[in-house]
Structure 1
Amino acid sequence: MSRNDRSSGKNNRPSGSRGSKTSGGKQSGRQGGGTMKKSHARGNAPIKPKMEKSPLSNTEGIRLNKYIANSGVCSRRDADMYIAAGNVTVNGKSITEMGYRVKLEDDVRFDGRRLNPEKPEYILLNKPAGFFVTGNPDKGGRTVMELISKVTTSKVSPVGKLDNQAKGLLLFTNDGTLAKKLAKPKNGIRQIYHVTLNKNLSKEDLENISNGVYLEGSKVIITNVSFIDDRPHNEIGIELKSIKEHIVTRIFKSLGYEVESLDRVVFGGLTKKDLSRGRSRNLTEQEVINLGML
């Protein structure tokens, strides 16, 4: 072998070539009497640094870059760069090690924001009456999760609540950041309800509601309230931004009316268009962006 051959092969030893070690620790000679080929494309490639072994075993958890990519933040390749730059923490500790593995229950954060390793999902359901939103308080009672399980296997949760007998729009997501934002919006969320009362609403009470109703010493601002065209005066349309529980029922009860039917027809710009009762659909990318701007 020429001097040049030995030089170029120093950092590019193929399997079974000169320089490999036997189990006894001694170097074996060339096998089969063949000559070593020069490496053209990778002859000058830098030696990759040795990676430190993750404290988790190779079979435990998933690689951190895959976890980040699954959350939708960026690609796995970009995730490696962010990890190396110190943008990622696991359980409060900055991690810069390539190949680090994490468990699903670990607290993984990117620039301080906690990540979800599942692909974000956003599902809008037109809830029927008779389905509980949370829990199963009555034996044999049904929950909205039965309806959602037909369209997703991800662990999604409802944003806000609707009573058992209430109908209408209900949003589900596994995006904890958005869910938290919608649960405590700075300026509230636009909602429109179709309400059926146990008796006709007087024009005087309609005006009282329009001016705002005080509940527990706090004024509830009503954006709009009106009779529904060509319907009896016990059917009302009401728009507001409050996210307090049972707020619509409490408004009418404070004036001596009982709500017999409650249907949320608009939620944060989302409508029931082309969404029949009991059916659900995934939000469009633009709808998700719009919700994030509320």
Structure 2
Amino acid sequence: MTNNQERLQKVIAQSGVTSRRKAEELILDGKVKVNGKVVLTLGTKVSPNDKVEVNGVPLEKEPPVYYLLYKPRGVISSVKDDKGRKVVTDLLSDEITERVFPIGRLDYDTSGVILLTNDGEFANLLMHPSHKIDKVYVAKIKGIPTKTELLQLRKGVKSGQDVLKAVQYRIISSDKKANTTLIELTLHQGKNRHVRRMMEEIGYPVQKLKREKFGFLTVEGLTPGEYRPLNPKEIKQMRNLAQ
């Protein structure tokens, strides 16, 4: 056994094919081969020289990459869109050849920080709700809510089958003449259209929304549509936040 061997499910996850948990399911279902033989044992270790296949498709071993993108409004948080709309990966340079994908989603009309990677394990680590990584949003809402109304955000607001919560909130400013409020909201959950649905339920629809922070990461120094690689220290700190 050599020091550069890794657990099979970790190798699959790091390739960007799927999360580690899903990789484990694929192994147990007999969908993974190593050097032409089906492997059913979790924890099996492989080296860079081993040929791994998932559902009959050889695993391409790409080096892991991590990017922070300032997503503009009017862009889909996906790698493709059946309606032909622009997606976040369209904003990346042709020099980036790795098959990256966004970690989580931002709504079409929401701007702000989003991470892209080809490391499925890293993505799964950051998105798992039990890890409670802060995601900070600033919303411009119609109306000026009372303290009592805002308390509902901490308790949880029922919307369809979901209970939507904010870990904390802070009023930044209110404009009585325009009848609008600027509010900062910190979430741990990441439900579909979370902030917009939550605010609509208490009667204060969102007019504009931006994600200011993902953990400690911000879009400082970037303009909408620009991106930068995460440095090794940032990658390590994000892992530590989740763990």
TM-score (norm. length: structure 2): 0.70
The one-letter code of the counterpart of 1:152 is I
Equivalent in 163, 166, 172 of residue 107 of structure 2: 163
The one-letter code of the counterpart of 1:143 is V
Report if the CA contact (8 A) 1:189-1:243 is conserved: no
Equivalent in 244, 248, 253 of residue 195 of structure 2: 248
Q: Are 1:117 and 2:64 counterparts?
A: no
Report if the CA contact (8 A) 1:133-1:164 is conserved: yes
Aligned counterparts of 1:277 and 1:128: Cα–Cα separation in 2? 5
The one-letter code of the counterpart of 2:83 is D
Q: Are 1:288 and 2:235 counterparts?
A: yes
Q: Are 1:189 and 2:133 counterparts?
A: yes
* 1:288, distance to aligned residue in structure 2 (A): 0.8
**Structure 1 residues 151 and 197: alpha-carbon distance in aligned structure 2, compared to 1, 3 A threshold:** farther
- % identical aligned pairs: 26
Partner residue of 1:106? 53
Higher strand share: 2
RCO (CA 8 Å, sep 6+): is it higher in 1 or 2?
2
Report if the CA contact (8 A) 2:144-2:174 is conserved: no
Q: Are 1:213 and 2:160 counterparts?
A: no
Structure 1: give runs of 5+ residues left out of the alignment: 1-63, 73-88, 108-114
Equivalent in 81, 86, 93 of residue 136 of structure 1: 81
Equivalent in 138, 143, 148 of residue 92 of structure 2: 148
The alignment partner of 2:204 has SS state of: coil
Q: Are 1:236 and 2:180 counterparts?
A: no
Matches within 5 A, 1:255-270: 255-270=202-217
Aligned counterparts of 1:205 and 1:260: Cα–Cα separation in 2? 18
Partner residue of 2:222? 275
1:73-128 deviations in Å (ceiling 9; x for gaps): xxxxxxxxxxxxxxxx55654789x99663xx625xxxxxxx86111100000100
1:179-207 deviations in Å (ceiling 9; x for gaps): 12223242322111010113333343223
The alignment partner of 2:130 has SS state of: coil
Partner residue of 2:171? 227
**Structure 1 residues 136 and 220: alpha-carbon distance in aligned structure 2, compared to 1, 3 A threshold:** closer
**Structure 1 residues 101 and 289: alpha-carbon distance in aligned structure 2, compared to 1, 3 A threshold:** closer
Aligned counterparts of 1:99 and 1:197: Cα–Cα separation in 2? 52
* 1:271, distance to aligned residue in structure 2 (A): 1.2
Report if the CA contact (8 A) 2:129-2:188 is conserved: no
**Structure 1 residues 156 and 254: alpha-carbon distance in aligned structure 2, compared to 1, 3 A threshold:** same
The alignment partner of 2:137 has SS state of: strand
The one-letter code of the counterpart of 1:123 is Y
Report if the CA contact (8 A) 2:174-2:181 is conserved: no
Partner residue of 1:16? none
Aligned counterparts of 2:107 and 2:223: Cα–Cα separation in 1? 19
**Structure 1 residues 217 and 157: alpha-carbon distance in aligned structure 2, compared to 1, 3 A threshold:** closer
* 1:223, distance to aligned residue in structure 2 (A): 2.3
Report if the CA contact (8 A) 2:72-2:224 is conserved: yes
**Structure 1 residues 263 and 99: alpha-carbon distance in aligned structure 2, compared to 1, 3 A threshold:** closer
Report if the CA contact (8 A) 1:116-1:175 is conserved: no
**Structure 1 residues 209 and 280: alpha-carbon distance in aligned structure 2, compared to 1, 3 A threshold:** same
The alignment partner of 1:180 has SS state of: helix
Report if the CA contact (8 A) 2:102-2:116 is conserved: yes
**Structure 1 residues 291 and 165: alpha-carbon distance in aligned structure 2, compared to 1, 3 A threshold:** same
Query: How many residues are paired up?
Result: 201
Structure 2: give runs of 5+ residues left out of the alignment: 16-33
The alignment partner of 1:228 has SS state of: strand
* 1:284, distance to aligned residue in structure 2 (A): 1.2
Higher helix share: 2
**Structure 1 residues 226 and 150: alpha-carbon distance in aligned structure 2, compared to 1, 3 A threshold:** farther
Aligned counterparts of 1:260 and 1:123: Cα–Cα separation in 2? 28
The alignment partner of 2:191 has SS state of: coil
TM-score (norm. length: structure 1): 0.59
* 1:255, distance to aligned residue in structure 2 (A): 0.8
